């Protein structure tokens, strides 16, 4: 999880932004950033999805409008994360409802985080939203993931510097892509060496 991203979300929320767009292909990492920001800013995190509603199996499934109706029932300081926002944000009724609830969110110390790989907002709410991009993982974030995979596979490295080389070779990928590629290289090479890194 990018600490810079979590810090940016935290600052935006503390600065009274009520609508955030968090763009990422990595939902799990993005949610970890939101949770980190929420913890520091003393807010809960509640997710909503089209299929599962609030919390994955609660009210509000089926449409963003239904989801927003369900979220309004929460009174505590909360970050509401709309999963797959790029799929649901074009609903005119939901956009109107979102605009209507923004002042209420401010009073309650709440915010809506629209999460998706690329979220194009309707013009009506474009200027109400702060945009945050979750950067791809750094070497510092990938290294422990690779070490864990190596331990699980009982992978031997001929030289410790090869771990760093493997991580550098994976920069530019999402965390899950990097782990899958590293897993494949481990399966093919059976040992961490220059040949495995080239795979």
Of 70-79, 124-133, 153-162, which range is least confident?
A: 153-162
Q: Is there a single domain that holds both residue 72 and residue 21? A: yes
Tell me the mean pLDDT in the region 162-189. 85
Residue 173 has pLDDT above 80, yes or no: yes
Model confidence at 135, pLDDT cuts 50, 70, 90, reads very high
Q: Is there a single domain that holds both residue 71 and residue 89? A: yes
Domain boundary among 99, 133, 167: 133
Q: Is there a single domain that holds both residue 93 and residue 37? A: yes
Tell me the mean pLDDT in the region 8-34. 96
Tell me the mean pLDDT in the region 56-61. 88
Model confidence at 163, pLDDT cuts 50, 70, 90, reads confident
Q: Is there a single domain that holds both residue 118 and residue 39? A: yes
Q: Is there a single domain that holds both residue 27 and residue 107? A: yes
Residue 26 has pLDDT above 80, yes or no: yes
Domain boundary among 79, 106, 133: 133
Model confidence at 66, pLDDT cuts 50, 70, 90, reads very high
- Structural domain including 54 reads 3-133
Q: Is there a single domain that holds both residue 118 and residue 156? A: no
**Better pLDDT: 108 or 194:** 108
Res 36: pLDDT: 97
Q: Taking all residues of the chain, what is their mean pLDDT, rounded to a whole number?
A: 90
Model confidence at 155, pLDDT cuts 50, 70, 90, reads confident
Q: Is there a single domain that holds both residue 170 and residue 94? A: no
The tally of domains found in the chain comes to 2
SS (H, E, C) the chain: CCHHHHHHHHHHHHCCCCEEEEECCCHHHHHHHHHHHHHHCCCEEEEEECCCEECCCCCCCCCHHHHHHHHCCCCCCEEEEECCHHHHCCCHHHHHHHHHHHHHHHHHCCEEEEEECCCCCCHHHHCCEEEEECCCCCHHHHHHHHHHHHHHCCCCECCCHHHHHHHHHHCCCCHHHHHHHHHHHHHHHCCECHHHHHC
User: Residue 39 maps to which CATH number?
Assistant: 3.40.50.300
Q: Is there a single domain that holds both residue 111 and residue 71? A: yes
Tell me the mean pLDDT in the region 143-170. 79
Share of the chain above pLDDT 70, in %: 92
């Amino acid at each position: 999880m990018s600490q810079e991203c979590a810090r940016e979300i935290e600052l935006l929320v503390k600065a009274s932004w009520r609508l955030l767009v968090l763009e990422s292909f990595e939902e799990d990492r993005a949610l970890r950033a939101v949770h980190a920001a929420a913890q520091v800013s003393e807010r809960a995190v509640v997710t909503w999805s089209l299929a599962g509603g609030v919390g994955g199996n609660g009210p509000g499934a089926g449409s963003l409008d239904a989801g927003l109706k369900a979220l309004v029932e929460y009174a505590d300081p909360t970050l509401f994360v709309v999963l797959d926002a790029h799929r649901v944000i074009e609903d005119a009724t939901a956009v109107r409802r979102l605009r209507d609830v923004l002042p209420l969110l401010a009073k309650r110390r709440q915010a809506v985080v629209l999460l998706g790989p690329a979220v194009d907002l309707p013009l009506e709410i474009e200027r109400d939203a702060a945009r945050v991009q979750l950067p791809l993982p750094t070497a510092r974030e990938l290294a422990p993931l690779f070490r864990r995979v190596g331990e699980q596979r009982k992978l031997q490295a001929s030289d410790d510097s090869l771990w760093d080389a493997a991580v550098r070779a994976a920069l530019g990928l999402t965390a899950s892509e990097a782990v899958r590629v590293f897993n494949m290289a481990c399966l093919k090479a059976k040992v961490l060496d220059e040949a495995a890194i080239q795979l």
